[in-house]
Structure 1
Amino acid sequence: MEHISATDASSLPRESSGAGHFAKVLSFRDLVIYGIVFVAPIAPWGTFAYVYDLSGHAAVAAYVIGVVCMYFTAHSYKEICTQVPSSGSVYAYVRHAMGVGPGFIAGWMVLLDYLLIPALMYVIAGVALNTFLPDIPRWIWVLVFAGFSLAVNWFGIAFTARVNILFLVVQLVAVAGFLGWAIFKLKANGEFAFPASTLWSPGVTASGLFAGTSICILAFIGFDAITTLTDEVKPCQRHLIGRSIVVVLLFIGAVAVLQSWVLSALAKGFTFKDLASGVYDLTGARVSPSAGAIMAWTAATVTGIAITPPMLAAVSRVLCAMAEGGQMPKFLTALHKRHQVPHRALLVSTVLSVAIALTFAAHPDELTGIVNFGALCAYIGVHLAVLVLLGFRRRSGRWFAHMLCPIAGIAIIIAVATQMSSTALELGFGWMAFGILYYITLKAFRKSALDAEVPI
C-alpha cells in the first residue's frame, strides 16, 4: 500500500487553501497503525489482575470470549461501513438504518467512551509510575501526560501519524521483551508457558467469567475510532477502512490472548496485593524485580505518551463534528490555520480528560467499567444497524454476515454487560438518560441540529 513518508506528509497539498478543511493524507497502513496504537498491544498489563481475579483464574478464557465478542462487532463495522454513504461510524450507521433518534443515542453512548478513555490512560500511567515513585502523586503524572498528548496532536494529523509508527514499534518491542523474558524464566523453573490448566478450572462460574470479560474488553475496544478519521483518509483508500478495522482487532486479539496465557502461568499460586499494580508486582516476583520495574516504566511511558495522542485525536474530532452539526457549541468547529487540527476541541477534550482522571485516580477499575459500558452500547447499535438495514430492509440474503453475526454479537455483549459493576451500570445508564433528555430538548427547540450528519 502507498504510504506517506515523513518528508512528503508535511508537504502534501491540502484539500483547500483555506483553514477549514482536514488534510487528506492518511493511507490504509496509517489507519492500521493508528488503530493498533489506539487499542494498544500492552493493554492487558493494566487489567489482567482484575480479569484474573474476577474470572476465577480463567483469564485466558475471558480474553478469548472478549476477542470473539469484538470480532462480531468488527465484522458488523466492516459490513455497514461499505453500505452507508455517510462518513463516520456508529452515529451515521444507526441513523441511516433506524432513524435520527436511535442514531443520536448510539452516537451519544460512543461519545462516553471517547471522552473517558484518554482519562483512563492517564490514570493507568499514573498508577504504574506511582507504584515505584510513591512520593510523586498521581495527579502530577496525569497533568504531564495530558500536556504531552495535547502537544503531539497540536501539530497536525500527519505529524501524529508519523509519531504513531514510533510508538507502535516501542509497544511491540515491549511486548516481545516481556514474553521472551517470562517464557525463559518459566522454562528455567521447569514450568510450561502455556499450560492447559489456565484455560479453565472447576471453580469457574459463568458470572465470574463474564465479569472478567467485562473488564478485559478494554484490551480490544477502540478499533472503531479508525472511522473518526474518515475525512482525513486519501479518497482512493477510503474503501479499505472496514478492512483496517478487522485487521486491527485480529492482531490485537492474538497478542492479548498470548500475553494473558503467559501471565496466567506466572500467576499460579500468586496472591495479588494490589490489583491496580498486579501485573508489575507479579512480574517482579516471578520473573525478576528489574523486569517488574522495567515493565511498569514501559507501561507508564507507552500508555501516557504513546496511546493517549490518538485517543485525544479521536475525541476532538467527534466534538468538532458534533459542533458542525449544531449539537455542540459552534466554537468547537474552529481549525488551526497552520496545522489544520480542531484546536479548540483539543483543548476542551484535554480539560475534560484531566478532570475525569483526577476524579477516578484511585478507582481505575470503575472508570474502566464506565468506558466499556459506553463502547458496548454503541456496538449494539452497530449490530442493530446491520440487522435492520442489511438483514431485513434490503434482504441481502447473506444470513451469516447480516443476521447471525449481529445477533450473536448482541447476545454476547448483553451477557458481558450484565456482569459489570453497579457503579459502571448506574453511571452508564445515567449518561444514556441524560442523552435521551438532551435529544428531546434538541428536537423541541433546535430540530435543525438533528438533521445534520455528524460523523461519530
Structure 2
Amino acid sequence: MTSPTTPAPTSDQDRAPAAEGLRKVLGLPAAVMFGLAYMMPLASFTTYGVVNTMTEGHVVTSYWITLVAMLFTAASYAAMAGAYSATGGAYTYTRRTLGGHVGFLGGWTILLDYVLLPMMAYLVIGVYLHESFPAVPQGVWIAGSIALVTVLNMVGITMLSKVSSAIVLAQTVFLVLFALLAVRTARGQEIPSLWDALAGRGPGTATALAGAAILCYSFLGFDSVASLAEETRNARRTIPRAILLVTLLGGLLFIAVSLVSSLAFPHWQNYTSVDAASLDVVRAVGGKLFESFFTAAFVAGCFGAVLAQQATVSRVLFSMGRDGVLPRRVFGYLHPVWRTPVYATLVVSAIGLVSLFVDLTLASSLINFGALTAFSLVNIATVKHYVIDGKRRGAGPILRYLVAPVIGLALSVWLWTSLSEQAFVIGLCWLGAGLVYLVAMTRGFRVAPPDLDMTEA
C-alpha cells in the first residue's frame, strides 16, 4: 500500500502478466486508435454549424484555442500516467495525489461526462438511422446499438480495439474523399483568405472562447486513453505518448476538417439548419449521394465512439468499485474468463437506455462542466505530485511540472467560465449529490474513504 503523497514505485509491475486482473494486450498504435475512436474523427461535424455561427464563420479559431488549452492539460495527464500505471484516469490521479475525498469528488464529477457521452452517441445513432429508415422506430435502433456495444465490451478489449481501429480507418477514408471534394468545390468560387480561415479576424475574445468551451468535449479521447493503463503493455511509457499523440492528431484533424468545410461553404449565414449545417456542407461538395455516404460514416463513427466511451466509463466504475468507493461486488467484479468488468458494463448500458427518453440539448450542456473540472484537478495533481511531494527542481522539471500545468489550469478555468448557466446549475447539483454521498460514506468525514489499491489484483 502506498500513501497518496508517495510517488509511485518504479518497478516493472506494469509489464507483469495480469493473470488475476485486466489483460495487457494493447500497444501504442492500438491505444492511439482507441483514443481517436473515442474522439470520433467526424466529431467536428456535430457542432460545426453551432460554433461557426456563434463565431461568425471562425470555427477554426475556436478549435485552435481549444487545442492549445488541451495540449497543456494532456501534458499533465501524460505526466501522471507515467507516475501511476493504473486504470481510472483523472479519478486515480487526483485520489492518489490529493487524497481520497478530493479524488472521490473528482471521479464523481467526471462520471457525469462518461455516463452521458454514451447516451448521447446512442441518441445520435437512433436519430440518423431513423431518418434513413423511417419505417424502423428510433427506439429500435437505440436498443439494438446498446445490445451490440454491450456484448463487444464484455467479451474483451482485444475485440473492441480491432473494431475501433476498423471504424477509425473507415472514417479516415471518408475524410480524405471529403477533403478532395471540398478543395475542388472551393476552387470554383470566391473564398476567404487562407489566413483568415486559419486565424480569424472577426470574432472577439468572448465569442471565440464561448466557441472553444463548446468544443472541449471533442478532446475527451486523451482521457479515455489514460483509463487503459492496466490493459497496455509497458504502460508507463506507452500511455503518456498515446495521450499526447491522440490530443495533437485529433485536434489537427478537427482543424483541417473545419478549415476545408469553411473554404468549400463559406456562407455561414445561409445554413438550412444550424444544428445540421454539416449536411449543407457535405451536400455542397458531393451532392445527395455523398450525403448518404456521410450519414453512413457518421453513424459508424458514433458507433466506434460509443464502443470506446462505454469501455472507458465501465473501467472508471471498476476502479472505484475495486476501492470500495462503490459497491465492490457489482463494480469491482471481473468476469473469470473475459477478464472484463461485466457488471459495470451492464450498468452503463442500462443508463444508456435513458437515451430513449431525452434529447441532446440537456446532456450536451453538462459534458464540459465535468470535463473541465477534471482537467483542472489533474493539472493541480501534477504540481503536487512532482513539485511539492516529489521535490522536482531545475529548469526542465519546473517548466514541465509547474509552468505547463499552471497554464493548463488557467486555460481550463478560463474555458470553464464560458459555460452556460444551465450547465453550472445542474453540474453543481450533481457535485452536491456526490458530496452528500461522500459525507454519508465517511460518516461526516470521521472515517477516511477506502485506500486505493495500487496493484492490479
**TM-score, normalised with respect to structure 2:** 0.88
Structure 2 distance, partners of 1:417, 1:375, is 9
Paired residues for 1:10-49 under 5 Å: 15-16=18-19, 20-49=20-49
Secondary structure of residue in 2 paired with 1:451: coil
Identity over aligned pairs, percent: 26
Structure 2 distance, partners of 1:54, 1:391, is 40
Structure 2 distance, partners of 1:308, 1:454, is 28
Structure 2 distance, partners of 1:87, 1:161, is 16
Number of the residue aligned with 2:12: none
Secondary structure of residue in 1 paired with 2:26: coil
Q: Do the aligned partners of 1:282 and 1:292 also contact (CA within 8 Å) in 2?
A: no
Change in 2 beyond 3 A, CA 1:85/1:40? closer
Number of the residue aligned with 1:122: 122
Structure 2 distance, partners of 1:77, 1:51, is 27
Structure 1 distance, partners of 2:440, 2:79, is 33
Change in 2 beyond 3 A, CA 1:75/1:14? closer
| AA partner of residue 384 (structure 1) | I
Instruction: State the Cα deviation string for residues 156-202 of structure 1 (Å, max 9, x = none).
Output: 11111222221221121121121112112222x14459733334665
Structure 1 distance, partners of 2:432, 2:316, is 20
Q: Do the aligned partners of 1:56 and 1:205 also contact (CA within 8 Å) in 2?
A: no
Number of the residue aligned with 1:5: none
Q: Do the aligned partners of 1:193 and 1:261 also contact (CA within 8 Å) in 2?
A: no
Secondary structure of residue in 2 paired with 1:450: coil
Greater Cα offset, 30-39 or 443-452: 443-452
Greater Cα offset, 37-46 or 85-94: 85-94
Structure 2 distance, partners of 1:15, 1:197, is 52
Paired residues for 1:49-448 under 5 Å: 49-84=49-84, 88-134=88-134, 136-187=136-187, 189-191=188-190, 195-199=194-198, 203-234=202-233, 236-270=234-268, 271-304=270-303, 306-329=304-327, 330-355=329-354, 357-361=355-359, 364-393=360-389, 394-397=391-394, 398-444=397-443, 447=447
Number of the residue aligned with 1:9: none
Greater Cα offset, 100-109 or 396-405: 396-405
Aligned residues: 434
Structure 1 distance, partners of 2:307, 2:321, is 21
Shift of 1:411: 1.6
Q: Do the aligned partners of 1:223 and 1:245 also contact (CA within 8 Å) in 2?
A: yes
Structure 2 distance, partners of 1:21, 1:219, is 30
Structure 2 distance, partners of 1:211, 1:365, is 16
Q: Do the aligned partners of 1:183 and 1:193 also contact (CA within 8 Å) in 2?
A: no
Structure 2 distance, partners of 1:39, 1:454, is 28
Q: Do the aligned partners of 1:56 and 1:203 also contact (CA within 8 Å) in 2?
A: yes
Structure 2 distance, partners of 1:93, 1:269, is 45
Q: Do the aligned partners of 1:42 and 1:299 also contact (CA within 8 Å) in 2?
A: yes
Structure 1 distance, partners of 2:333, 2:96, is 27
Structure 2 distance, partners of 1:210, 1:132, is 35
Structure 1 distance, partners of 2:418, 2:380, is 22
Shift of 1:137: 4.6
Change in 2 beyond 3 A, CA 1:137/1:280? farther
| AA partner of residue 25 (structure 1) | V
Change in 2 beyond 3 A, CA 1:194/1:183? farther
**TM-score, normalised with respect to structure 1:** 0.88
Q: Do the aligned partners of 1:86 and 1:453 also contact (CA within 8 Å) in 2?
A: no
